[in-house]
Amino acid sequence: MEQAEQAGNGTTEQESQAERTEQSGQSEQAGETNEKERRSAAASGEYPPEPETITGSEALLRGLLAEGVECVFGYPGGSALNIYDAMTDNPDFKHLLARHEQGAVHAADGYARSTGKVGVCLATSGPGAANLVTGIATAYMDSVPLVVITANVPTGLIGTDAFQEADIVGITMPITKHSYFVRDAGDLPRIVREAFYVANSGRKGPVLIDIPKDVSNQRFAYRPAEDEPRVRGYEPAPAVDPGEVKRLLGAIAAAERPVIIAGGGVVYANASAELLAFAEQTRVPVVTTLLGLGGFASSHELWLGMPGHHGEYAANMAIQRADLLVAIGARFDDRVTMKLDGFAPLAKTIAHIDIDPAEVGKNVRTDIVCIGDVKDVLRFANEAAKPARSEAWLAELRANKAAYPLRYRDSETELKPQFVIELIHETTGGDAIVTTDVGQHQMWTAHYYKFNRPRSLITSGGMGTMGFGFPSAIGAQLGNPGRLVVSINGDGGMQMCAQEMAVCAIHNIPVKIVVINNQVLGMVKQQQEIMYERRYSQIDLAGSPDFVKLAEAYGIKGLRASTKAEARQAWREALDTPAPVLVEFMVPMDENVYPMVVAGTTLDRMILGGFGEQEA
């Protein structure tokens, strides 16, 4: 019966199968033709291609590459494993495994400060994210652009006190410029684009992206972010007010004792050339804050030094006698002003150029306010700037600088830390990128290494973070592979980050690591000596490791010097070695940093360390 029906249809089973095969082939050929036509139309822009389906992790990596990220510094963990798994299929993505999350964020910070680009770090949830907090605060205080990516527990576990859960958005709210908690992987392309825009525009700072584990694994139809980033209510670059700039120029033209206080904002705005032109056109002398060092060349005749707590005599006295102060990208922090009600007592006018209106008038009264990008304001001002009546003033300041230079009592039997910094400066020509930790060595570096290029000093200013110096050098070296990077550390701070030597050894990152070893918490000791009547408490670092052996244990050459001759020889060997080297300089513990202004006193009450005291 079945055969008869088939016969009645006029075909056999074999003939029917052949017909189906032919139709299928024609269909496949038509499909291939349609696909070619679709691709051709997409390529010609007639209509967009079908979006690719990928995970949130893959979208994150693509977004970072689209922003030009050269390296992410991070440390994996359970909640971040989807992101780290995606790296295995993305050969273009570069990641450096730190040995501690704090090392990762400080390395990203050093990369950002030295290059002007956004630094990126990555950590897992809970303790991993929490270990980033100090580094985030460090970047926030110093206006450094970072994108900090943290993984979190799955969204269904948020708020349940799950294993390794922490509300990192809440924890870091006061120390981030902006935060994102990602609930949908489809938002990641936009969020990554916005995060970089916010971090690196206006007053720069860290931005946090927190990604739950299920979101990092969520699949969605991916389209890259193409629109220009816009964040509601965010206006990063206010327009320059010509009227205020005109008032500023009028005040300068009338001033007899003007002074410019240049801060880190000059460096971050890439405005060093504009500041130079402004100072030369107006004939106004310049002091640079710790973070502003290098923003105005220390070799220039108009440069007076660093002001403040450990400021130079000429710089502090210039502020105290000035009739006009012009702060440029500086925030009048307490280490610069010292006792506020005695700060710049003769200044009839104080002007402030800054991109952040919140800083203006916060600590010091302000008479002339120029809000805007420092580079834009100075460019505008330079079109009409006229010289102040300052020649007699400049002569007085030059005399002060000559009469009260930075000095220390050198020795032929002991290796003085100031000599070590001078040696490093002389042998590098002042052309190295120098990172420091925090303490006495930081101030000696600020005093005795002469910075003539912006982004040459990488140091923690506002937060004063021990453990910052060495990891930041790793980031600076990766961002500047053709530059010499020298990391100057105390024996205290070096022990907070020594494990990162493994990173240098494995990847042959040729940082020259300096340890100024006085076997004591030097800055704490100095304050206890001067302000607490030598009641020393918990400052003894005897029993610290042999840093040379520690370096060798990590596979890094270690050298030690205790005399001038040994110092010269060891440092020359370090410079001649195309690899990371640690040099430990053994210095006396009783050496102090001078000048010094004691907290609660004014800038003109300087302790000069026995070289003509200015304490009256």
For residues 380 and 371, what is the distance between their CA atoms, to the nearest angstrom?
12
Could you tell me the CA-to-CA distances from 143 to 279, 453, 464, 472 in Å, in that order? 24, 19, 14, 15
Nearest to 381 by CA among 269, 283, 246, 264: 246
Nearest to 431 by CA among 469, 461, 457: 457
- Phi/psi at 245 (nearest 5 deg)? -65, -40
For residues 395 and 372, what is the distance between their CA atoms, to the nearest angstrom?
33
Cβ atoms 545, 476 nearer than 8 A: no
Local structure of 148: helix, strand or coil: strand
Bridge pairing between strands 581-586 and 512-517: parallel
Length of the chain: 616
Q: Which two tokens stand for residue 164?
A: 């390794």
Can you tell me which residue has the tokens 């210039």? 318
Catalytically annotated residues: 101, 163-164, 213, 523
For residues 394 and 260, what is the distance between their CA atoms, to the nearest angstrom?
13
* Residue type (1 letter), 15: E
Burial class (CB in 10 A: 0-12, 13-18, 19+), 25: exposed
Q: Which two tokens stand for residue 325?
A: 């102060």
**DSSP letter for each residue of 383-427:** TT----S-HHHHHHHHHHHHHS-------SSS--HHHHHHHHHHH
Long-range contacts of 196-199 (CB under 8 A, 24+ apart): 196/67, 196/118, 196/147, 196/229, 197/229, 197/231, 198/229, 198/231, 198/234, 198/236, 199/118, 199/145, 199/146, 199/147
459-490 burial, b if ≥16 CB within 10 A, otherwise e?
Answer: bbbbbbbbbbbbbbbbbbbbbbeebbbbbbbb
The count of C-alpha atoms lying within 13 angstroms of the C-alpha of 577, restricted to the half-sphere facing its C-beta, is 21
Can you tell me which residue has the tokens 């105290």? 320
**DSSP letter for each residue of 512-560:** EEEEEE-SB-HHHHHHHHHHSTT---S-B-TT---HHHHHHHTT-EEEE
For residues 449 and 457, what is the distance between their CA atoms, to the nearest angstrom?
10
Could you tell me the CA-to-CA distances from 127 to 137, 150, 182, 217, 218 in Å, in that order? 16, 11, 19, 21, 24
Beta bridge partners of 583: 514, 559
